[in-house]
Structure 1
Amino acid sequence: MKRIFAIGTLNDIPDPAPLGTLQESYELLAQRFPQIRHSAVFESDAVPVDEDTVRFTIPLPVMKTNG
């Protein structure tokens, strides 16, 4: 099954490791998008897009301010 990812406002990011596991793809995405390093994605988070594609939405951490 084909995987695509959504991070924040970026949708339809192609799977960087289509033959790898979800964890391997996530680790490669975290190298490109360091803000997701402290998020998590699970197989159960998959949302079907069509009959052979699923989308994983990776949540961004909440921005904190001092003062």
Structure 2
Amino acid sequence: GNDKLRRYLAEAIACCCTWGSNCVSFGEAGAVAPLVHYLRSKDPSVHQATARALFELSKDPNNCITMHENGVVK
């Protein structure tokens, strides 16, 4: 289902963020807000992959702002 896709997508984003300015590019492309919503999943593997992706994305301050605006911390 969609959770499997979400998990793999979050893992891919996390891996890509470790190269160059990709974490900035993902933020500029609008990828951060949808990822925050992945945390609503009931699947722990989606949560794990999403947490890793958000950790990598948080290395750009603008992405941190987007995360907070979208309720990453409750």
TM score, norm. by length of structure 1 = 0.29
Of Structure 1 and Structure 2, the greater strand share is in 1
Question: Which protein shows a greater Rg?
Answer: 1
TM score, norm. by length of structure 2 = 0.27
Of Structure 1 and Structure 2, the greater helix share is in 2
